[in-house]
């Protein structure tokens, strides 16, 4: 009995110690832009939600030479209200530890402190001045995937199927998008890109939705029920796999299958994929996706450039005015694609695990499409950096 009690006490002390360490990290300054010079020879890529997983993804993208920038600095941005969630705080702390232990001194962090209020996201607020400074000291931005945006952000009631896990993250990211691009919320707002149209932004899955919501658009809160009128997993399985936007088998057999699925998309003739990247309108690249929400009403300036094969689900968006904005409703960054050692089964019919990269290779122009996305973004970061270096203080 005494040993059991002692063991419980030691465990409690360890857990408390770990939490305290995380709290101390969260309370530390971690404010890269306070002392950073406006001009730098390094290309600066700002990313939101710098979890360990997202930082590891960026490391892998550089390792694979997909982000092909030699002198790169990545700055992970987060808000102090986000780290009130212990799991989020732990993930950010683990990201910093991972970067330090592996010698990735090109990874930095910046913690925002000012007010983050749902009522004032889409106007000049306590965060505005600092956000503009961050933009002017950066060469581009990535918005990663994650949990659902609270429908209150786009002024709708919340579906029982919504999965809201990180509301303050969504508040920050949609506010960032609004300050960069403007939106229907205030047509007279002077956005940052009005004077810096070359600034590139890449939105991945949730990030693409944030681009739309931040500019005043809305979302379908559940694709199966809202778009296809389906209420049961088995009904989704009976549909063609090109209409699976997340893997339905992950709900039936969660220990065997991930939520991700591979399916094809259709490219718009007047979008950058065809007009600028050289793909044909008849090309149907396979992509890696995991989402149950999708763009509905378009935000200000947002244009559709890819859909599902049946045309019902928006798969990619760009901006009508600013040429270097791209949102994709899939995961071209995933390590499950680029790390050839990772294998998985997507359905019970798969006899053995397979490398997802091989699926892209076997279904042209899928691999070329993914590589082009990253070469395009890398090039736009470099161009943006040249513009910043020429700016007067």
* pLDDT, mean of residues 142-151: 98
Cα–Cα–Cα angle for 325, 139, 55, nearest 5°?
90
| Residue 27: predicted pLDDT | 45
Asked whether the beta carbons of 43 and 379 are under 8 A apart, the reply is no
The yes-or-no verdict on residue 142 having pLDDT over 70 is: yes
pLDDT of residue 5 exceeding 90, the answer is: no
Q: Which two tokens mark 78?
A: 């987060």
Whose tokens are 């002198």? That residue is 71
The pLDDT mean for the chain works out to 92
The pLDDT score that the predictor gives to residue 29 is 67
Whole-number CA gyration radius for the chain: 21
- The percent of residues above 90 in pLDDT, for the chain, comes to 87
pLDDT of residue 2: 46
| CB-neighbour burial class of residue 199 (10 A; exposed 0-12, middle 13-18, buried 19+) | buried
Residue 279 backbone dihedrals phi, psi, to 5 degrees: -85, 160
In sequence order, the 6+-apart residues with CB closer than 8 A to the CB of 79 are 111, 112, 113, 116, 168, 169, 171, 172
Average pLDDT of 34-47? 96
Region 286-307 average pLDDT: 98
Spans of all domains in the chain: 31-393
Q: What is the mean pLDDT of residues 109-128?
A: 95
**3 state SS of 200:** coil
Residue 120 has pLDDT above 70, yes or no: yes
- 351 band by pLDDT with thresholds 50, 70 and 90: confident
Contacts of 353 (CB under 8 A, 6+ apart): 343, 344, 345
Per-residue pLDDT for 28 more than 60? no
Cβ-based neighbour number of residue 151 at 10 Å: 18
* pTM tops 0.75, yes or no: yes
Instruction: Report pLDDT for 393.
Output: 58
Q: Which of 25-29, 41-45, 252-256 has the lowest mean pLDDT?
A: 25-29
Local confidence band at 228 (pLDDT 50, 70, 90 cut-offs):
very high
Predicted local distance difference test score (pLDDT) of residue 1 = 46
Lowest mean pLDDT among 179-183, 254-258, 285-289: 254-258
Structure tokens at 182: 């403007």
With CA atoms as reference, report the closest residue to 161 among 55, 292, 11, 63: 292
Q: What's the rounded Cα separation, in Å, for the pair 377 and 205?
A: 16
Measure the CA–CA gap between 273 and 294, rounded to whole angstroms: 20
SS3 state at 220: strand
d(CA 237, CA 221): 20
Q: What is the DSSP letter of 67?
A: S
Identify which of 98, 118, 116 has the alpha carbon closest to the alpha carbon of residue 106: 98
Q: Could you tell me which residues come within 8 angstroms of residue 385 by beta carbon, excluding any fewer than 6 positions away?
A: 43, 44, 139
Backbone angles phi and psi of 320, in degrees to 5: -70, -25
C-alpha to C-alpha distances, 28 to 44, 93, 135, 378, nearest whole angstrom: 22, 11, 22, 32
Q: What local confidence, expressed as pLDDT, does residue 6 receive?
A: 53
Res. 19 pLDDT band, cuts 50 70 90:
very low
Per-residue confidence (pLDDT) for residue 286, from 0 to 100: 98
**Which tokens go with 284?**
């149907």
Task: Copy the structure tokens of residue 148.
Answer: 């659902």
What is the CATH code for 31-393? 3.40.50.880
Mean pLDDT of the 348-358 span: 90
* 228 exposure class (CB count in 10 Å sphere: 0-12, 13-18, 19+): middle
Give the pLDDT of residue 197. 97
Nearest-angstrom CA–CA distance, 351 and 267: 32
Average pLDDT over residues 40-69: 97
Burial (CB < 10 A; 0-12, 13-18, 19+), residue 323, is middle
Q: With 70 as the cut, is the pLDDT of residue 333 above it? A: yes
Whether residue 365 is preceded by a cis peptide bond, meaning omega within 30 degrees of 0, is yes
Cα–Cα dist 198/382, whole Å:
10
């Amino acid at each position: 009995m005494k040993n059991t009690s002692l063991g419980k006490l030691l465990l409690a002390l360890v857990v408390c110690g770990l939490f305290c360490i995380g709290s101390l990290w969260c309370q530390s300054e971690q404010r890269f832009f306070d002392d950073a010079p406006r001009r730098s020879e390094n290309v600066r890529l700002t990313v939101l939600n710098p979890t360990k997983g997202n930082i590891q993804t960026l490391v892998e993208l550089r390792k694979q030479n997909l982000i092909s920038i030699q002198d790169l600095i990545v700055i992970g941005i987060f808000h102090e209200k986000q780290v009130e969630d212990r799991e989020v705080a732990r993930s950010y702390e683990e990201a910093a530890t991972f970067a330090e232990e592996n010698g990735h001194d090109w990874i930095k962090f910046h913690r925002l402190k000012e007010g983050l209020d749902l009522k004032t996201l889409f106007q000049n607020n306590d965060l505005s001045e600092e956000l503009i400074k961050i933009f002017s000291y950066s060469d581009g931005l990535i918005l990663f995937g994650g949990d659902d945006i609270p429908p209150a952000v786009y002024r709708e009631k919340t579906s029982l199927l919504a999965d809201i896990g990180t509301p303050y993250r969504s508040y920050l990211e949609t506010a960032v998008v609004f300050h960069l691009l403007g939106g229907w919320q205030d047509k007279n707002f002077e956005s940052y890109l009005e004077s810096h149209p070359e600034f590139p932004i890449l939105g991945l899955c949730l990030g693409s939705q944030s681009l739309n919501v931040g500019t005043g658009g809305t979302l379908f809160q559940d694709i199966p029920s809202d778009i296809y009128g389906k209420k049961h997993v088995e009904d989704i399985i009976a549909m063609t796999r090109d209409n699976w936007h997340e893997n339905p088998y992950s709900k039936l057999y969660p220990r065997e299958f991930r939520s991700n699925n591979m399916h094809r998309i259709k490219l718009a003739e007047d979008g950058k994929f065809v007009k600028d990247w050289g793909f044909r309108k008849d090309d149907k690249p396979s992509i890696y996706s995991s989402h149950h929400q999708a763009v509905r009403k378009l935000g200000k300036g947002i244009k559709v450039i890819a859909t599902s094969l049946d045309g019902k689900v928006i798969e990619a968006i760009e901006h009508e005015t600013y040429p270097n904005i791209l949102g994709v409703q899939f995961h071209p960054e995933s390590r499950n694609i680029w790390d050839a050692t990772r294998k998985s089964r997507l359905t019970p019919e798969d006899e053995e695990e397979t490398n997802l990269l091989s699926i892209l290779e076997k279904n042209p122009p899928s691999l070329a499409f993914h590589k082009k996305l990253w070469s395009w973004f890398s090039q736009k970061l470099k161009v943006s950096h040249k513009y910043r270096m020429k700016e007067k203080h």
